[in-house]
Structure 1
Amino acid sequence: MILAVDVGNTRIKAAVFEDNTLLESFVFLKTALEKSIENILEKYKNTTHLVIASVSDVEKQAFISFKDAVNIHFVSQTDPFPFVNCYETPQTLGIDRMVLAAGAILQYPNQNRLVIDAGTCVTYDFIDENDNYLGGAISPGLRLRYESLHHFTAKLPLLTLEKPKRFIGKSTSESIHSGVVNGLVFEIEGCIAEIKGQYSKFIIILTGGDSVFLAKRLKNTIFANSNFLLESLNQTFQYKIKND
Structure 2
Amino acid sequence: MVLTVDVGNTRIKAAVFEGSNVLENFIFEKKELEEKIKKILEKFQNCSDLIVSSVGSVEKQSFMNFENQLNVHFFSHEDIFPFHNKYATPKTLGIDRMILAAGATLKFPKQNRLVIDAGTCITYDFIDENDNYLGGAISPGLRLRYESLHNFTARLPLLNLEAPNSYIGNSTAQAIHSGVVNGFIYEIDGFIDEYRANFSNFIIILTGGDAEFLAKRLKNTIFANSNFLLESLNQTFQYKIDND
Q: Please give the range of the TM-score, normalised by the shorter of the 2 chains.
A: over 0.9
How many Å apart are 1:196 and its aligned residue? Answer: 1.6
CA distance in 1, matches of 2:5, 2:103: 15
CA distance in 1, matches of 2:133, 2:6: 21
2:238 counterpart residue number: 238
CA distance in 2, matches of 1:25, 1:77: 26
CA distance in 2, matches of 1:158, 1:228: 30
1:201 counterpart residue number: 201
Unpaired stretches in structure 2, ≥5 consecutive residues: none
Q: Which amino acid aligns with 1:10?
A: T
Write the mapping of 1:32-47 to structure 2, written as runs, cut at 5 A. 32-47=32-47
1:163 counterpart residue number: 163
- In angstroms, what is the RMSD of aligned CA positions? 0.5
CA distance in 1, matches of 2:201, 2:186: 20
Write the mapping of 1:102-113 to structure 2, written as runs, cut at 5 A. 102-113=102-113
TM-score (norm. length: structure 1): 0.99
The answer on 1:122 being equivalent to 2:122 is yes
CA distance in 1, matches of 2:63, 2:199: 42
Q: Which amino acid aligns with 2:64?
A: I
CA distance in 1, matches of 2:31, 2:3: 19
CA distance in 2, matches of 1:167, 1:216: 16
Q: Which amino acid aligns with 1:135?
A: G
CA distance in 1, matches of 2:56, 2:77: 15
Q: Give a deviation string over 1:40-65, Cα, whole Å, max 9, x none.
A: 00000000000000011211011111
2:198 match: secondary structure: coil
1:92 counterpart residue number: 92
CA distance in 1, matches of 2:155, 2:198: 42
Q: Give a deviation string over 1:47-96, Cα, whole Å, max 9, x none.
A: 00000000112110111110100100001111100000000000100000
Write the mapping of 1:1-244 to structure 2, written as runs, cut at 5 A. 1-244=1-244
Q: Give the % identical residues.
A: 70
CA distance in 1, matches of 2:35, 2:57: 18
Q: Give a deviation string over 1:7-44, Cα, whole Å, max 9, x none.
A: 00000000000000011000000000000000000000
Q: Give a deviation string over 1:143-194, Cα, whole Å, max 9, x none.
A: 0000000000000000000010111000000000000000000000000111
Q: Give a deviation string over 1:90-144, Cα, whole Å, max 9, x none.
A: 0100000000000001110011000000000000000000000000000000000
TM-score (norm. length: structure 2): 0.99
Q: Which amino acid aligns with 1:236?
A: T
Task: State the aligned residue count.
Answer: 244
Contact 2:211 2:224 in 1 (8 A): yes
CA distance in 2, matches of 1:112, 1:23: 30
Q: Which amino acid aligns with 1:84?
A: H
Contact 2:112 2:200 in 1 (8 A): no
How many Å apart are 1:197 and its aligned residue? Answer: 2.0
CA distance in 1, matches of 2:141, 2:177: 13
Unpaired stretches in structure 1, ≥5 consecutive residues: none
CA distance in 1, matches of 2:216, 2:162: 13
Q: Which amino acid aligns with 2:33?
A: L
CA distance in 1, matches of 2:200, 2:18: 37
